Amino acid sequence: MSPEILTILMFVTLIIAIALGHPLAYTLAAVAALFGLIDNGFNIPMLFDMFANNSWGLMQNYVIVAVPLFIMMAQVLDRSKVSEKLFESLYIVLGGLKGGLGLAVVVVSTVFAATTGIIGASVVAMGLMAGPALIKKGYQKELTSGIICASGTLGILIPPSIMLVVYGGLTGFKETSVGNLFAGAILPGILLSSLYFLYIVILCHFKPTIGPPIPESDRTHSAVQKWGMTLKSLIPPLGLILTVMGTILSGIATPTEAAALGVVGAMILALANRQLNWKVLKEASISTYRTTAMIMMLFIGGKFFSTVFLSMGGGDVVANFLLGGGLNRYVVLTIMMAIVFFMGMFIDWAAILLVTVPIFTPIAMELDFNPLWFAMLMCVNLQTSFLTPPFGYALFYFKGVAPEGISIGHIYRGIIPFVALQLLGLALLIIFPEIITWLPEVIFSH
């Protein structure tokens, strides 16, 4: 059977299996096993050796050790009440502005994203803290849903991000090391956060009824008190961010070592807030085990799928399809981004990375794209996967903790403008690549 037919059948089978509701990790491995057998003439020992070598290679990847450590750091921070204190302070500082509470959610989510890197923790935490407050103060249900879901997704992009660690572990380029990816993601993350911020400011300026300021009676604090409260709640998480990111970007520690340092820092913050106890450690550890197991199963299934796909010539088929037509390289880039965006509607980000990075990266190199720039476009694009129906994880995380009266319809309508803002951010990164490349060049050019 020709590679072209096998490629088409392999992806059609994968789509059907996912649509039937089978677990993604097992689906990827099963489809890979089926087509691997077809391609090698049902040579079971050869396929088993391929599977074992792939799994062993993943287990030996030192960079991936950072994944459970960053997850543990996020789980401890989620229970340390750091984000709650920051939101309470910004509630007072920004609440008097039109859309001020929404702006507070964006700021807290941005800071929280830089200390967690896990979407579920950010969306659930903000949903529980900010959701009832926004609705109580008269915020539109759609706007409330969009702000919390979109802001919560910043955690997958702003470092330390699990997705960036995974990407760095998949590629062999110096430009896409975890340190370079972390540095390259800082400004894009701030860009998206700023777009959300500006959108809320402009929208609530022209439609103040959907994001009203808090009543005058609630504004009883002086400017000095506001600054004091903000700094007191902001300094601890910023200290943790600088400790983790600073040690990586300065070359003092590897991402894995910095992640371990982050766990210790998160425990210190929890202890300072009197939240560190056996129950917290037990719950954080169990959540870390479960999340890590899920991610590693996706790694194994996705890596096996991409290896079989490439071994049967699927990568060449895709490359010839995209490069053989003589298309402008930015048209090819648009096609790749569209494929990733579409896959994000149905498939988990980890599986998309594991399947597409080995296929698209050689094409990007053939087109003479900067590896770091291309990697960041992929990651920013994948952030939309948490918001796009029907399987946007952030939507379901928020629905599980949303205040009474917010339906899935409110959530779907609320995220539409924020998905558009994410795509606008992606377009700006394509037009102005320096947003990605400038900071890594400044930090690592010495």
pLDDT in tens, 122-155: 787 788 888 888 898 889 999 999 999 999 888 8
> With 80 as the cut, is the pLDDT of residue 276 above it?
yes
Helix intervals (H) in 20-140: 24-39, 44-59, 66-78, 82-94, 100-116, 119-136
- 178 domain-assigned: yes
Q: Check if the beta carbon of residue 81 is closer than 8 Å to that of residue 237.
A: no
Angle at 419 between CA 93 and CA 199, to 5 degrees: 35
Q: Check if the beta carbon of residue 10 is closer than 8 Å to that of residue 31.
A: yes
Q: How far apart are CA 48 and CA 35, in angstroms?
A: 13
Q: How far apart are CA 444 and CA 251, in angstroms?
A: 9
Q: Which two tokens stand for residue 261?
A: 């340092």
Give the DSSP letter string of 237-306.
HHHHHHHHHHHHHTTSS-HHHHHHHHHHHHHHHHHHTT--SHHHHHHHHHHHHHHHHHHHHHHHHHHHHH
User: What is the span of the domain harbouring residue 432?
Assistant: 59-444
Q: How far apart are CA 51 and CA 33, in angstroms?
A: 9
> With 70 as the cut, is the pLDDT of residue 75 above it?
yes
Residue 61: the pLDDT is 76
pLDDT tens digit sequence for 359-400: 899 999 999 999 999 999 999 999 888 888 877 888 888 888
Distance from the first to the final alpha carbon of the chain? 52
Other C-beta atoms closer than 10 Å to the C-beta of 434 total: 11
Residue 254 CA to its chain's centroid (Å): 21
If you average pLDDT over residues 432-436, what whole number do you get?
95
Residue 11: the pLDDT is 84
197 Cβ neighbours under 8 A, 6+ residues apart: 103, 106, 107
Residue 222: the pLDDT is 63
SS3 label, residue 219: coil
- 4 domain-assigned: no
- 314 domain-assigned: yes
- 6 domain-assigned: no
pLDDT grade, residue 203 (50/70/90)? very high
Other C-beta atoms closer than 10 Å to the C-beta of 186 total: 20
Domain count, the chain: 1
More confident residue, 113 or 195: 195
Three-state SS for 194-210 is: HHHHHHHHHHHHHCHHH
- 108 domain-assigned: yes
pTM of structure: 0.85
- 32 domain-assigned: no
If you average pLDDT over residues 255-278, what whole number do you get?
88
Other C-beta atoms closer than 10 Å to the C-beta of 57 total: 11
- 303 domain-assigned: yes
- 428 domain-assigned: yes
